[in-house]
């Protein structure tokens, strides 16, 4: 995705879409758009998280959060997700150095860590299902599955995006793509940061017994 | 001459492959239907937005007229019960999401890049994506008429009215899923316009040299970015309730239907400003041009617009005064609602200051702009009346409210938008929109509108409730309702004249030339209609109202020195994405009935979308080089 360049006026077939694009601020369009999208995404998660907090402790039927939440297991999966952010940072650093080998390694591991997190989440969802917590059981079930499900969808799309870059790097041209990787990274970090808030609101709040 | 930036040599990176993995050929049509379906030119996309929006305004207008026929006489049975509910729901939904918003979007598309001196928007293919997803959502939501009944829970869709227990059909499913699809289109477009305005301005166009319309566009798009997520999540929660039996708005499971109202209005009130700020921008362009004076108090108008946008998020509960929120909440929202009237008043006085002492030219754009000020003021005054909670209790859910928001949305938004059509029609078509038919069409609009909606204040204060399909003769509403219904047809006729005028002028109108109004902003410095690349030479901006300043100081527009202009290529994928979204939405409606079949349909739709995203990414924007000294590339 690129813009209609305002300035660049060049002949020939040597254009490998790497020509410098005009931008008023000097920041690439893609980056500005991603930041704007993340602002919008904050409101998406803000709405989900607010709904969870407002409905906290208002479920009329069991199972209640304290009965099903497994804090140690989710702490482990949260740790994995946060470490994937570190790997993402290494990925961006590698592509900025034009170090394609390291780039492939780190982006692959970022995907793997994302997948591990998703694995934990499917395990948790299955476990809750067996303990009788469904989306229609009570308010906890509705809010929990909708919020963490939306987050999981974000992670899954992020993994798909990263994996696409990993595969692309074997047959495609990675020159000039550092900005794209950086934008992908912005998204990935955001999804991780949101998880910190969700983890606090769902799990830690239960652990310290607020409102329980 | 070529200012090509050399690629840093990076031998460690992947081998040099030309166009790796294109999933299909690029479109080649330069004329005919396919050139429109695959275009990424912001001007063509703007025209398509406008045509679609005007079509849906006619559709929403027909729905309104059918309701007015029903309400013309007491105890009528032309359209009753659920069908009437479907009419007012679809009238509101259509006018807001399929009419006024896309029409503002048409102006964003066509005008903003021209006013900031850009060759296109920041992401031309994403722009086409927004258009086609909007079309997909609009068609989808109207498919409900043929598939068991249109949405019937009002444009606000309050549960439990829209809960599955009380609304068994798929009416509300079409509504909720359709609005999410339309939201995707709006958010994508907003990301694009935000980036475009931040990043694609011509050199020298600082923020405080931007035309007011560009300012109002960026504020509106920030509002869309921040206001659409709450409604999207609320709609998702409603879908969860309806499809999977979740508890969000189910009182039996502890859910609170009032929560929906909060989420809806957290979106719904900024939405009001999303509808009115762009017309305010248009009016701020028309008034100085037709008063032959600079805009009075430019910075105040800009900051008032920004303040309105900010405060727009702090007034939502004034839609809910009668729900029993408690004294503190009612008081707080009463105060914030009163505060938001201040920047609006500031703008009105600035517009009056612009006209004051001006050399006024009363052509149609000016007539509509003046109508905007007058009618929007009346709508604003009745709005201030609502901010007083005690009186609002009397007015809530009566025709007084209907009168209020139609003054804001027709007298205000539609007036401004029709004025905008008259103002920029010469730029788009190269011909002036005829005055002979245009002036009578305006006066019919003005009187038809006032005759339709002013009496609603009276019947409303006398207690006539809205969204009720009939009334008894003994209530004393008969005469006014007959008058209102008759006037509605006058209003409708004025639109017919306007459209006839558009068609006639397109064929026979006076040739406009570059600058028919002696304009102030950059779009008037280029040919009408503009060439595909807009500006042969990127302008350098030194002043507010730069083109006006250059004309006054005798600076000629720069001539092309023959440098080729780089433009991106058309693409099939935005259109395919729209098709994918449509299939996906259709599948989701029927999840409740046929889980497997519906899931398969949704997944197919998603795969179509995914295919087009990959095709899109792999093909890249492409490039063609146009010579501004030849006619090639200018298709209009």
Query: Which among B200, B259, B263 has CB closest to A3?
Result: B200
> Are the beta carbons of B566 and A17 separated by less than 8 Å?
no
**Measured between beta carbons, which residues in chain B are less than 8 angstroms from residue A60?**
253-254
Task: Inform me whether the C-beta atom of residue B129 falls under 8 Å from chain A C-beta atoms.
Answer: no
Task: Inform me whether the C-beta atom of residue A176 falls under 8 Å from chain B C-beta atoms.
Answer: yes
Average pLDDT over residues A154-160: 98
- Give the pLDDT of residue B12: 34
Query: Which among A11, A22, A171 has CB closest to B21?
Result: A171
Average pLDDT over residues A123-141: 96
CA dist A133 and A131 (Å) reads: 6
Q: What CATH number labels A29-207? A: 1.20.120.80
pLDDT tens digits, one per residue of B306-353: 999 999 999 999 999 999 999 999 999 999 999 999 999 999 999 999
Task: Inform me whether the C-beta atom of residue A67 falls under 8 Å from chain B C-beta atoms.
Answer: no
> Are the beta carbons of A100 and B246 separated by less than 8 Å?
no
Distance from CA of B633 to the nearest CA of A (A): 14
**Measured between beta carbons, which residues in chain B are less than 8 angstroms from residue A25?**
198-199
| Domain segments of chain B as ranges | 42-569+621-626
Fold of the domain built from segment(s) B42-569+621-626: Cytochrome C Oxidase; Chain A (1.20.210)
- Rg (alpha carbons) of chain A, rounded to whole number: 21
Average pLDDT, chain B: 93
Beta carbons within 10 angstroms of residue A26's beta carbon: 7
Q: Which of A45, A142, A150, A156 to mutate to test the interface with B (most CBs of B within 10 A)?
A: A142
Asked if pLDDT for residue B478 goes beyond 50, the answer is: yes
Distance from CA of A87 to the nearest CA of B (A): 20
Say which residue the tokens 């939904």 belong to. B93
> pLDDT band for position A18 (50/70/90)?
very low
Task: Inform me whether the C-beta atom of residue A156 falls under 8 Å from chain B C-beta atoms.
Answer: no
Asked if pLDDT for residue A121 goes beyond 70, the answer is: yes
- Give the pLDDT of residue B633: 46
- Contact between B141 and B217 (Cβ < 8 Å): no
> Are the beta carbons of B538 and A11 separated by less than 8 Å?
no
**Measured between beta carbons, which residues in chain A are less than 8 angstroms from residue B540?**
none
- Contact between B399 and B467 (Cβ < 8 Å): no
Average pLDDT over residues B412-424: 98
> Are the beta carbons of A40 and B228 separated by less than 8 Å?
yes
- Contact between B573 and B615 (Cβ < 8 Å): yes
Decide: residue B285, CB within 10 A, 0-12 exposed, 13-18 middle, 19+ buried: buried
Residues 6+ apart with CB under 8 A from B214: B112, B115, B116, B197, B281
CA dist B163 and B152 (Å) reads: 11
Nearest residue of A to residue B15, measured between CA atoms: A173
Query: Which among A40, A139, A174 has CB closest to B247?
Result: A139
Asked if pLDDT for residue B598 goes beyond 80, the answer is: yes
> Are the beta carbons of A164 and B12 separated by less than 8 Å?
no
pLDDT tens digits, one per residue of B181-235: 999 999 999 999 999 999 999 999 999 999 999 999 999 999 999 999 999 999 9
- Looking at per-residue pLDDT, the higher value among B13 and A37 belongs to A37
Kindly report whether the peptide bond that precedes residue B550 is cis, defined as omega within 30 degrees of 0.
no
Asked if pLDDT for residue B581 goes beyond 90, the answer is: yes
> Are the beta carbons of A9 and B253 separated by less than 8 Å?
no
Distance from CA of A135 to the nearest CA of B (A): 5
- Looking at per-residue pLDDT, the higher value among B636 and A140 belongs to A140
Chain B contacts in chain A segment 109-138 (CB below 8 A): 135-136, 138
- Give the pLDDT of residue B563: 81
| Domain segments of chain A as ranges | 29-207
- Give the pLDDT of residue B626: 83
Task: Inform me whether the C-beta atom of residue A164 falls under 8 Å from chain B C-beta atoms.
Answer: yes
Of the candidates B177, B289, B196, the residue with the CA atom closest to the CA atom of residue B583:
B177
Query: Which among A2, A143, A170 has CB closest to B621?
Result: A2
**What secondary structure letter does DSSP report for B388?**
S
How many angstroms from the chain centroid is the CA of residue B235? Answer: 20
CA dist B313 and B223 (Å) reads: 9
How many beta-carbon contacts under 8 Å exist across A and B?
214
Distance from CA of A201 to the nearest CA of B (A): 18
Of the candidates B269, B347, B355, B335, the residue with the CA atom closest to the CA atom of residue B306:
B347
pLDDT tens digits, one per residue of B15-68: 334 455 677 788 888 888 999 999 999 999 999 999 999 999 999 999 999 999
Task: Inform me whether the C-beta atom of residue B58 falls under 8 Å from chain A C-beta atoms.
Answer: no
- Give the pLDDT of residue B7: 31
- First and final CA of chain A: distance in angstroms? 49
Nearest residue of B to residue A52, measured between CA atoms: B248
Nearest residue of B to residue A26, measured between CA atoms: B199
Distance from CA of B128 to the nearest CA of A (A): 12
pLDDT tens digits, one per residue of A108-120: 999 999 999 999 9
> Are the beta carbons of A33 and B191 separated by less than 8 Å?
yes
3-state secondary structure at position B77: coil
Q: Which has the minimum average pLDDT: A21-25, B61-65, B295-299, B558-562?
A: B558-562
Task: Inform me whether the C-beta atom of residue A5 falls under 8 Å from chain B C-beta atoms.
Answer: yes
Task: Inform me whether the C-beta atom of residue B234 falls under 8 Å from chain A C-beta atoms.
Answer: yes
Interface pTM, i.e. ipTM: 0.93
- Give the pLDDT of residue B565: 86
CA dist B10 and B71 (Å) reads: 74
Chain B contacts in chain A segment 33-62 (CB below 8 A): 33, 36-37, 39-41, 43-44, 46-48, 51, 54-55, 58-61
User: Quick one: tokens of A85?
Assistant: 């952010």
* Residues of chain B above pLDDT 70, percent: 96
CA dist B541 and B547 (Å) reads: 9
Distance from CA of B464 to the nearest CA of A (A): 36
Average pLDDT over residues B400-428: 97
pLDDT tens digits, one per residue of A62-108: 999 989 999 999 999 999 999 999 999 999 999 999 999 999 999 99
Asked if pLDDT for residue B354 goes beyond 80, the answer is: yes
> Are the beta carbons of B229 and A40 separated by less than 8 Å?
yes
* Residues of chain B above pLDDT 90, percent: 89
- Give the pLDDT of residue A171: 87
Task: Inform me whether the C-beta atom of residue A64 falls under 8 Å from chain B C-beta atoms.
Answer: no
Q: Which residues pair with B390 in a beta bridge?
A: none
Chain A contacts in chain B segment 199-228 (CB below 8 A): 199-203, 205, 225-228
């Amino acid at each position: 995705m690129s813009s209609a360049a305002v300035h660049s006026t060049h002949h020939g077939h040597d254009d490998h879409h790497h020509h410098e694009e005009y931008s008023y601020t000097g920041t690439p369009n893609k980056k500005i758009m991603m930041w704007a999208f993340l602002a919008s995404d904050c409101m998406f998660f803000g709405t989900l998280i607010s709904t969870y907090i407002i409905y906290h402790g208002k479920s009329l039927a069991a199972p209640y959060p304290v009965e099903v939440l497994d804090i140690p297991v989710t702490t482990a999966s949260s740790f994995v997700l946060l470490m994937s952010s570190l790997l993402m940072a290494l990925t961006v650093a590698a592509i900025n150095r034009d170090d394609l080998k390291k780039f492939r390694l780190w982006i692959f591991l970022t995907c793997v860590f994302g997948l591990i997190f998703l694995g934990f989440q499917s395990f948790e969802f299955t476990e809750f299902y067996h303990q009788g917590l469904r989306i229609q059981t009570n308010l906890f079930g509705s809010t929990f599955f909708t919020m963490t499900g939306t987050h999981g969808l974000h992670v899954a799309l992020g993994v798909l995006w990263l994996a696409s870059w990993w595969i692309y790097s074997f047959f495609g041209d990675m020159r000039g793509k550092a900005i794209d990787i950086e934008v992908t990274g912005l998204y990935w970090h955001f999804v991780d940061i949101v998880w910190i808030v969700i983890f606090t609101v769902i799990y830690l709040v239960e652990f310290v017994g607020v409102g329980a | 001459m070529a200012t090509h930036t050399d690629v840093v040599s990076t031998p460690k990176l992947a081998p040099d492959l030309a166009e790796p993995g294109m999933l299909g050929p690029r479109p080649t049509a330069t004329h005919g239907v396919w050139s429109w379906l695959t275009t990424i030119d912001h001007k063509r996309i703007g025209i398509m937005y406008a045509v679609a929006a005007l079509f849906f305004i006619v559709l929403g207008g027909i729905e309104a007229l059918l309701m007015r026929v029903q309400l013309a006489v007491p105890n009528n049975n032309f359209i009753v019960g659920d069908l009437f509910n479907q009419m007012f729901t679809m009238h509101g939904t259509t006018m807001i999401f399929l009419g006024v918003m896309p029409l503002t979007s048409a102006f964003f598309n066509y005008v903003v890049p021209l006013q900031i001196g850009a060759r296109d928007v920041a992401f031309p293919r994403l722009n086409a994506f927004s258009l086609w997803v909007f079309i997909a959502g609009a068609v989808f939501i109207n498919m409900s008429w043929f598939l068991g009944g249109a949405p019937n829970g009002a444009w606000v869709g309050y549960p439990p009215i829209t809960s599955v227990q009380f609304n068994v059909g798929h009416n509300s499913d079409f509504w909720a899923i359709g609005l999410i699809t339309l939201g995707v289109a709006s958010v994508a477009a907003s990301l694009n316009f935000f980036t475009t305005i931040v990043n694609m301005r011509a050199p020298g166009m600082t923020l405080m040299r931007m035309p007011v319309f560009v300012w109002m566009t960026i504020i509106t798009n920030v509002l869309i970015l921040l206001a659409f997520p709450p409604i999207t999540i609320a709609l998702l929660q409603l879908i969860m309730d309806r499809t999977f039996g979740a508890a969000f708005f189910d009182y039996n499971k502890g859910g609170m239907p009032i929560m929906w109202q909060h989420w809806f209005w957290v979106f719904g009130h900024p939405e009001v400003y999303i509808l009115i700020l762009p017309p305010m921008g248009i009016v701020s362009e028309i008034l100085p041009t037709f008063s032959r004076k600079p805009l009075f108090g430019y910075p105040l108008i800009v900051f008032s617009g920004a303040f309105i946008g900010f405060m727009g998020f702090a007034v939502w509960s004034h839609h809910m005064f009668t729900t029993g929120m408690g004294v503190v909440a009612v008081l707080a929202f009463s105060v914030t609602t009163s505060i938001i009237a201040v920047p609006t008043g500031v703008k009105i006085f600035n517009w009056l200051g612009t006209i004051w002492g001006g050399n006024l030219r009363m052509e149609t754009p000016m007539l509509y702009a003046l109508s905007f000020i007058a009618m929007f003021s009346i709508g604003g005054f009745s709005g201030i009346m609502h901010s007083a909670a005690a009186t609002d209790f009397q007015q809530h859910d009566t025709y007084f409210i209907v009168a209020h928001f139609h003054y804001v949305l027709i007298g205000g938004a539609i007036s401004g938008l029709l004025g905008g059509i008259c103002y920029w029609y010469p730029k788009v078509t190269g011909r002036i929109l005829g005055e002979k038919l245009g002036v009578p069409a305006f006066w019919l609009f003005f009187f038809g509108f006032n005759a339709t909606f002013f009496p609603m204040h009276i019947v409303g204060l006398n207690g006539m409730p809205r969204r009720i399909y009939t009334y008894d003769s003994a209530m004393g509403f008969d005469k006014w309702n007959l008058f209102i219904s008759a006037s509605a047809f006058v209003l409708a006729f004025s639109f017919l004249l306007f459209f006839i005028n558009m068609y006639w002028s397109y064929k026979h109108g006076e040739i406009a030339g570059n600058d028919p109004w002696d304009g102030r902003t950059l779009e008037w410095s280029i040919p009408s209609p503009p060439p595909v690349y807009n500006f042969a030479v990127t302008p350098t901006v030194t002043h507010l109202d730069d083109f006006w300043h250059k004309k006054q100081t005798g600076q000629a527009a720069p001539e092309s020195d023959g440098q080729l202009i780089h433009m991106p290529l058309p693409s099939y994928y935005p259109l395919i994405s729209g098709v994918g979204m449509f299939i996906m939405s259709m599948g989701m409606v029927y999840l409740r009935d046929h889980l497997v079949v519906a899931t398969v349909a949704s997944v197919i739709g998603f795969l179509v979308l995914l295919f087009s995203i990959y095709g899109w990414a792999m093909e890249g924007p492409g490039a063609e080089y146009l010579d501004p000294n030849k006619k090639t590339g200018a298709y209009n």
